Chain A
Amino acid sequence: MDDNLKEYEKLKAELKKSIATKNKLEDDFERLEQEIYDTETEYFSGNNTTSNTGIAGNRFSYGGNIIKGFDGFNKSHHHSAGHDSHNRGFSNDDRIFSLSSAIFVKQQQQMDDWEVD
C-alpha cells in the first residue's frame, strides 16, 4: 500500500512535470505562430526596411515576392507609382506560412463566424 502511494506520488510528480513541459511547448507554439504571422505581414507589405542596398527608393520598383513570383524582376520599372499599390496589396490567402498551421486556419474560421454573427 505504501509502495503504491509512493508510486502514485511519483507518477503525479511526473505528470505535473509533463504538463509543465507541455505548457511551455504550447507557449512556444503560440509565440512561433505569432512570429510567423508578423514576419509574413512585414514581408508582404514590403516593409522590411532591412534593405541596405543603397537604393531605398527602388525598393518597390521591381515586381514580385515569393508568392507572386518574380516575373519581370529583371526588368527595370520606371513607372513604380502605379505598380506599388498593386504590388503591396496582399490578402490573407497569401499567408502560406501561417496557413500551413491547422490551428491558424481554425482561428480564421472562427473569426469569420464571429463576423457573420
Chain B
Amino acid sequence: MPTPTNSSSNGTKNRIKDHSPGSPATTPNVAAAGSAGSSAEIAANASRFRHRKISVKQRLKIYRPNDLKSLNQNELQEREMMEIETGMEKNEEKEVHLNRILQKGANLSDESRKREYIPTPKATATWTDFDKFYQGRFKEPSSYIKFSATLEECCGAPYSMDEKDEEFLEGKINAGKEKEDEKLSEDEFEILCSSFESAIHERQPFLSMDPETILSFEELKPTLLKADLLNQQLKQQLGKEIGYKEDQIFTTQLESIDCQSGIRPLSQVIEKFGVQVYEYWKQRKINSSNTEIFPQLRFERPDEKDDSNPYVCFRRRDVRQPRKTRRVDILNSQKLRLLHQELEHAKDMALLVARREKVTLDLLEQNMRIFDQRSNVKRLKRSLGIRGEDEDLVNHKRKRLNVVAQSQMKQNAGAAGAAEAAVSSPASSSTNAVTTSDSSVKRGLKGRILKKNLEHLAKSGQKLTKQQLQQLQAQNLAIASGKHAGHMHAQQVQQAQQAQQALQAQQAQQAQQQQQQEQPQVQQSQQAQQGQSIQSHVYVRLPSSKVPDITLDDVDHLLTNKERNARKFVHDRMEKRKLEDKDLFNLTDDPYNPVFDITLPKDVLPNNSPFSSIASSKYEINRSYYCGNLPAYLNGNTDDITAYNHEGEKLPSNNFKVKKLEVYDPFQTNNEIHSKEYPVKFRKRVGRCGIQYIDRKPNHMEKSVDSVLNQFLDFDAIESQEQNPQETINVYDSKWDEFSRLYDKWQHDSPRNEYGLKVLEEPSRLNQISNETQVIRFGTMLGSKSYEQLRDVTIKYRQEYVARMRQQKLNQKQLQLQQQQQQQIQQEQEQEQELQQQEQEQQQQSQHARSPSLSATSSLSQPSSKMESSPAMPKKVNGISNQHHTKPHQGVPVTQKKSS
C-alpha cells in the first residue's frame, strides 16, 4: 500500500511509528468519515482512534494513489500524531522534553528536530584507564559458569570511595601507622561507610528533612553491629555449624578471594575506627545535597507516584502486579515452602559434608602429629635400648564399617520384622509366629546387633538342624521360630558375611559371645552348601522408614485381654441384672429347674420337656411360687414362700402341701413329677425302602390292659400253650403266636411317620423340588393369582358401575317419556307395558348374570367394547328395575351430577 509522501515520515522514523491512513488498523467507518472531511469530526475521530486487529469481518478501505491527493492532509497528520509510540507510560508522556517534541510534531523541519532531545547521561565516552583497573584475571572454566548473585552482591560494599575519602583515609587515619594491623584498608573503609549508610537509612529514613538531627555514633552503634554486611555473620554462623572456632579463617567458594582477603570482621573495624570514620562520614552526609553522598537511583513504589518530577521517565520500571486468585497464592506459597524444605535438606547434607571434611582435615593433621611423635619416641627408645611396648608405634588396622552395608542391614532388620509377621512357620502355630515377630521388633531396638546376626544366619537360607535351632532359640526366642523353614529370601552371601564380621567387632561385650562364635562356623559350612541359592522375591522389603514405629502387641496378650474383657462384660451384666432382680425370681437362669407345678401339653414328652421353652406357653401352670429369699429357702433356713394358683390368686398359707416347693430334676429318672404324662412312648424305626416309622407303646403298662385285651385274645389258651411247650400245634392255630404277633403289632406298628402325618398322606415330591421351594413357589403363585383376581374383580366392578350409571340415566329419561306417554295412553296399554317391562326385567337380569362372566374373561384391552355394550341394552326399563339396580350400591359415594 502506498504511503502518503510527505516529509514528516522520514525524520522521525526511529521514534515515531508510521501509520498510513489506509492501514489495516483503520476501520472503514473512520476512514470514510475521515475522507468526508470536516475538521471537527476529524478531531473527534482522532481522539477515538485506536489500533484494531485485522479481521475478516471488517472491511478495509483501499486508497488508490489518485485518491490520496484528495485526502485531507491535516487529517493524516493528526492521525499520525496520535499514533506516535513513545514506549512510555501514559503519564510519562508528559515529560517535558518529550512533550515539547511531540507538540512541535511534524511541523518541524529535520534540522530543528535534531535539536530537540531528551537529555540523557552520556554513556558513550571511552574510559582510557579501563585496562588499568580491570585486569582480566578471569579464566574460562571447562564447565558452565554457575552464578546466581546479583551485581550488587558481587562488587563488595555499595559505598565507593572517592578522592576525598582517600585523602581522609591516608591523611587522618592511616597516617603514621607502620603495621598493617593498625591501618584501615580501603575495603574496610568502604564496608564501614556502607554500614553507616544502611544503619542511618534504617534509623532515620527522613533524614533529608533535617540533616542536622543525624544520630551520634553511640546512638547508632547497636544498629551497626546488628547489620549483617557482606554476610559476615552468616559466614560466622556457618563456621560455627561446621565446627570452626571463632577466629579461624576460612573462605567459601562463593566469595571471590581477592576482594575478601584480609578483611577483618565488621565488629572489630567498628570498635577500632568507628568513631573517627563516623564523624568524617557524618559531615560529608550533612554537607551533601539531599543528604546523599552519592546520587541514588530513583525508586518509586507503585502506589506513591510522584508525577511532579519533570524527569519522571528516569526511574526504575515498576513491575505491574499480575492479578492473582487466592488459590494460586496458596498453591504458590505451598510450593515455595516445599522448595524451601528441599533446600533446607540439601543445606543439611552440605553442612554434614563440610563437617566431614573438617574432620578429615583434623584427622590428617592428627596423623601427621602422631607420625612426628612416633618418630621421636622411636628415636628415644632406641637410644634407651627399650624393647617391646610397640603397640602404639604401629598403625592398627581399623575395621571400617561399610556405610552401605550398615544401612542395608538396618533396612533388613526392618524388613525382617515385617516379613516375619507374614511368615507363619509350619512348626509353630500362627500365634507364635506373630508373637515372635512382635518381640523381635521390640528387641530389634535394643539388641539389634545380636538380632541382626541371627537374622543373617537365618536369611542365608540354610536349614538349621534341630540342635542349632535350639541354641538359637535359647539365645533369641524372637528369631528362632518361623525362620528355620528357610522362608526368608536368600541374602547375598558376602553381604551377610560382611555384616557378620562388622558386627562381631562390636559384639565383644555381648553376654552370649560364646554362642556367637559358634555361628560363623555353622554359617560358613552352610554357605558352602548353599553356594548357589536362588534368590526369591516373595517378601517385600520395606525401607526402614516405612516400618511403623509402634510397639507391637503380641497376640496372646491381645487375646487374653479380649477374653478378660468379655468375661468382665458378662459378669458385670449378670451383677447388674441380679441387682435389678433382687426381689424377683428369674427362671431363665435355671431352665432345668422349673419351680412350677406344670401340666404338660399333649404333644410334649417329659423326656424333652425341660428343653422346651417355658415361654412357648405350652405349659399350663397350676401353681407358681414367689420366694423372697430363694437361696435361704432352698437351704432350708426359711419356709417363707407364697404360692399362687393358676389364676393368680394367693393360696392360703396354711396349706402345707402346696407350700412345698417342687423342684424338678430331669436327671433323676424315678422322680415323680406332678404332671400328666403322655401315656405312650415312641420308638423310631427304619423300615423297608428307608421309610422311617415311629412306633409307640404305652408309657406305663397298666394292669387293666389285660382285661381289655381279653376281649380280643384267648388268654387261657395262651397260658396253656405256654405251660406245655412240647405240644405240637399248627402255627396258624397257635394262640401264643397270635398273641405275640398282636402284641408286637400293637406295640410298634403305626401308620404314622416321624412328623405325625400318615404315611399314605405324605406329600410326594413334585419334580424333585424340595418342599420349601414348593412352598415359596406356591406362595408366590397364590400371591400373583390373588392379585390378578383382585384386579379382575376391581375392573369388573368399575365397569359394572359405569354401565349402571348410564342405564340409570337412560332409565330416568325413559321414565319421563313414559310418564308423558302414560298420560296419553290408555289403561290397557299400561297393562301391556307392564308385561313388557317384566320381560325386560328378566332380560336385564339375565344379562347381568352374564356380565360377570363376560368381564371375567375380558381383558383390560376390551373395556371400550363393554362400555358400548351397556348402553346397547334394552331401552325400555321401568322404575322397578331401576330401583332394583341402584339399591345395593347406594352406599357407594359417587357424585352423580358430575358423571352425568
Contacts and interface: CB of A to CB of B under 8 A. Distances in A.
A90 to B, nearest CB: 12
B353 interface: yes
**Most chain B Cβ neighbours within 10 Å, of A36, A40, A42, A51:** A36
A84 interface: no
Interface in A40-57: 40-43, 45, 47-51, 53-55
Contacts of A47: 543, 545-546
A47 to B, nearest CB: 5
B380 A4 contact: yes
A33 B338 contact: no
A97 B383 contact: no
A22 B370 contact: yes
Contact of A35 (B342, B352, B376): B352
A41 B355 CA distance: 19
B825 interface: no
A40 B373 contact: no
Contact of A7 (B348, B380, B406): B380
A36 B353 contact: yes
Contact of B373 (A14, A35, A48, A70): A14
B494 A114 contact: yes
Contact of A12 (B335, B349, B377, B398): B377
B793 interface: no
Given A8-B386, A15-B373, A29 B407 contact: no
From DSSP, what is the main secondary structure of chain B's interface residues?
A: helix
Given A43-B349, A114-B494, A18 B356 contact: no
B525 interface: no
B689 interface: no
A83 to B, nearest CB: 15
A33 B331 contact: no
A39 B494 contact: no
Interface in A41-77: 41-43, 45, 47-51, 53-55, 58, 62, 64-66, 70, 73-74, 76
Contacts of B543: 41, 45, 47
B405 A111 contact: yes
Contacts of B733: none
Contact of A97 (B349, B377, B402, B407): B349
A34 B370 contact: no
B356 A33 contact: yes
A39 B407 contact: no
B821 interface: no
B334 interface: yes
A48 B345 contact: yes
Contact of A58 (B334, B349, B374): B334
Contacts of B341: 48, 50-51, 53
A70 to B, nearest CB: 7
A50 B341 CA distance: 9
B338 A16 contact: no
Contacts of A48: 341, 345
Contact of A37 (B346, B380, B404, B498): B404
Interface string B367-405: 101100110110011011010010011000010111111
Contact of A107 (B342, B381, B403): B403
Contact of B492 (A15, A36, A100, A115): A115
B352 A32 contact: yes
A45 B338 CA distance: 15
B381 A51 contact: no
Contact of A73 (B335, B353, B389): B335
Contacts of A22: 363, 366-367, 370
A104 B352 CA distance: 14
Nearest to A98: B403
B317 interface: no
Contacts of A37: 403-404, 407
Interface of A: 1, 4-5, 7-8, 11-12, 14-16, 18-19, 21-22, 25-26, 28-30, 32-43, 45, 47-51, 53-55, 58, 62, 64-66, 70, 73-74, 76, 97-98, 100-101, 103-104, 107-108, 110-111, 114-115, 117
Interface of B: 331, 334-335, 337-339, 341-343, 345-346, 348-350, 352-353, 355-356, 359-360, 362-363, 366-367, 369-370, 373-374, 376-377, 380-381, 383-384, 386, 389, 392-393, 398, 400-407, 492, 494, 498, 543, 545-546
Q: Which 8 A-B pairs have the closest CB atoms?
A: A66-B346, A32-B356, A8-B380, A15-B373, A37-B403, A22-B366, A47-B545, A114-B494
9 contacts: A14-B373, A18-B369, A25-B366, A29-B356, A32-B359, A49-B545, A97-B350, A107-B402, A107-B403
